[in-house]
Structure formats: C-alpha cells, structure tokens
Amino acid sequence: MNYRIFPPEELPECTVTLPLSKSMSARALIINALIQRCDTSSLQLAECTDTQAMRNGISLRSGTVDINNSGTAMRFLTAFHAATPGSHITLQGCDRMHHRPIAPLVEALIQCGADIRYLGEPGFPPLEIRGSHLTGGHITVNASISSQFISALMMTAPYMEQGLEITLDGEVASRPYITMTAEMMTKAGANVETTTDTIRIAPSQYTTPIARIESDWSAAAFWYEIEALTSGFITLNGTLHPSIQGDSVISHIFSNLGVDTEFTPQSADLVASPELSPRLQLDLQATPDIVPALVVTCIMLRIPFRFTGLESLHIKECDRIEALCEETLLVGAVITREAPGIISWDGIPRPIQQLPVFHTHDDHRMAMALAPVATYLPGIVICDAEVVSKSYPSFWNDMRLAGFIVQDENDPIPTQFTDNQ
C-alpha cells in the first residue's frame, strides 16, 4: 500500500505507547528456549514480523524455515539450531536476505563443531543445519560486519562442552547490542566475562527465564524526529529509563536538535527546546539503526552534519546509505559519501520540482524516517508503507493519533490542503 501523509492542523499533542524492543525479544526467545521446561507464556514480547519469524523458527526442529527479511532471525536461529541436537533445518529468506553475508558466523560455528552447509552462494543463506552438541573452545570472529554474529554465538555458548572464548577482530559494529546480550545472559544465570576485544563464557546452563522486555528505543527515534520537526507535546509510554539498549543515546543526541527529555518511571515526555546545534558531527558505529531518523531530521532542520561509523548500513534490509542518498535527494539534499561509512551534508537545500514520492526500499526504518517529512511538505507519499510491520506495526495508527492524516494515495486530498497542491 502507498500512503499519502498530511501534517496535523495544530501542534501534535498525544501519548504514544511504544512497541516492546524486538532486539530484546529475540534474545529472550533464544535464551528461554534453551531452558528446559521453561514456561514463558506470560512474557510479553514485541508484536512484529521479526518476532514472529523467531517464534516460528524456534518451534521447528525439522523442515524449512522461511524468515523472509529478518536478519536477526537468520543469525540467531543459525546458532540456535546448530547447537540443538536433533535439529535438521533449512533456513532461507527473501532475495535480499540471500545477499546478506553470514560467513563469519557459519565459519565460527563450524570451528565449534557445527554441521552447516551452504545451499547457494558460499558465504550467504540459504543454509542447511544439522544440530549437535557443540565443542566450543576459542575462536576469532570478524566483529566489524554485524554484532548479531557475536550475540548468536554468545547465547548458545553456555551449552558448548568447553564453553567459548571469542576474540573480536576489527572495529566492533554495534557494540551496545553485544553488551545487551551479555546482560540478558547474566540475568538468566550464565557466566559471561567481557573485555574490549574478548568475551569468555563458561559452560553452564541458563537457570532463570527472561521475564521482562523494555520498550523499544529504536522506535522512539521516530518520535524524537517528529518532536524536533513539530515542537509538539509528545509523551512516550513505556519503561525507557534506565535502559540496556544502546539506542537510548537518542535522548542525548536529540538534545542538540531541539528536544529535551523528562523521564518518569513509566514514560518519557518530549519537550521542545530552542537549543539547536549549528552542525552535528557524530560517530554512529555503535548505534547505526538511528541513522535514518537523524539524517532526515538534520536535513529538514537545515543542520549540516557529518556522520561516521556507518559501514554496517550497507548490509541492512537495504543499503541504507544508498537509499538515504536517493530519497533525500527528493527534498533537495545532496548527501556526500566521503568514504565507506562516512556521509556528510552541507546544510544547503537545492530546489525541488515536485512533491516527493518516497520509496522505502523494503526497509521499515526508511519508511518511518521519511514519513515526518510531511510536516514540511504536506501530501508526500510513502510507497509500500506496510514494511513497518517488521518492527512497529502500529506506527501509522500512532501517527494518526498524533494528528497526522495518513490515507490511501488515491483518496481525495483533504480540503484544508487542496490550495497547496
């Protein structure tokens, strides 16, 4: 479906209940599945297609699991089934998934004793996996591609005969997600020791199921973006502070973009501030998922930026660097790709000739980051808007709650906007 979006007639004033963290949900599903006779029926998890892919993949021990475009499910389920004796699974996904690298994880698992075979191009899904008791030991893993390779190994490591010692090679991508994994494992009873470049996990078993999932800071990024562009009155319902999620750094970053945060135990009030940085320069290697929201916010506020540490964005649901350059060009922004993982913008918009029709590139974060552009350009179109179901299925309804008009592309234009079309 394609949605046409118009801004609220007045400043948005709303309370939004954020979805639960899909990153924490995925880890909870793996950890809890490894605990024998574990009843977690009361555990509330993120309701999104990524979580459903994880549920489906964990519930099967034989046959084919199609995880579509869920990179988290592909990586976590690869390690889970490799370490589950009796499993005989084929893991496959969409075409884009079959072009996302998985070799560092597969090679590490094979060193630990896993039986995994590539069914297509070596180094990429689909995979055939025969589960067994893994030996473990010491391995070195390229940590610069995806932190999920490391997290997948970590969560299965307690059940390896020798435990596991992982040496992290290269600049570590999204390190806060590795920290999140370690904290959740420790709460579940595992013995995890971490240093800058080494992770040691003793052989043991999980004893305590994960019982609570935080609200999703990655989803909060788009409401910080909306607040920055509207100066409205937005409350985010959900436990957000303190948080083990790396993306919680959003509250500090957006203080440079006109948004302050007032936390309560169960919510966060976003408060407009006159403080705007004249230029934003950030290393975002630890938090690449917030890049789309930051790029679009800076462009709409005419704030020059230089962002580094973005190497992993090339292997997300789409090549997000390429997608951001292509789509923001529609609002007159010419982003410079200085080098792999480095982009910048001079803050000078070029004239635009027509109302943007944005393509989402089958990427949920692209759709949600581009939607608030309607604040400045009423009537923009977001193509394939249903992609938000990957992480935030209620996003469009929540935008309506904030006063945005979100309608089918072919519906009549609201009368208050007809003079502007």
Residues involved in catalysis: 289
Instruction: Render the burial of 8-42: b for 16+ CB within 10 Å, e for the rest.
Output: beeebebebebbbbbbbbbbbbbbbbbbeebebee
Neighbour-count burial for 203-233, b at 16+ CB within 10 Å, e otherwise? eeebeebbeebbbbbbbbbbbbbbbbbbbbb
In which residue are the tokens 């393509």 written? 359
| DSSP 3-state of 359 | coil
For residues 295-313, one letter each, b for 16 or more C-beta atoms within 10 angstroms of the residue's C-beta and e for the rest, the string is: bbbbbbbebbbbbbbbbbb
Peptide bond into 349 cis (omega under 30): no
Strand partners for 91: 65, 127
Lookup: tokens for 9: 């007639």
Maximum C-alpha span of the chain: 71
Q: For residue 363, how many other CB atoms are within 10 A of its CB? A: 24
Q: Which residues does 222 contact at the CB level (< 8 Å), separation at least 6?
A: 293, 368, 369, 371, 372, 392, 395
Buried b (16+ CB within 10 A) or exposed e, 126-138: bbebbbeebebee
What radius of gyration do the chain's Cα atoms show?
A: 22
* 191 to 164, 183, 204, 213: CA distances (angstroms): 11, 10, 8, 21
Angstrom distance (rounded) from CA 233 to CA 216 = 20
- Cα–Cα distances (Å) from 410 to 1, 258, 327, 407, in that order, read 10, 35, 21, 8
Rounded Cα–Cα distance for residues 410 and 42 (Å): 42
247-280 per-residue burial string, b: 16 or more CB within 10 A, e: under 16 = bbbbbebbebbbbebeeeeebbebebbeeebeeb
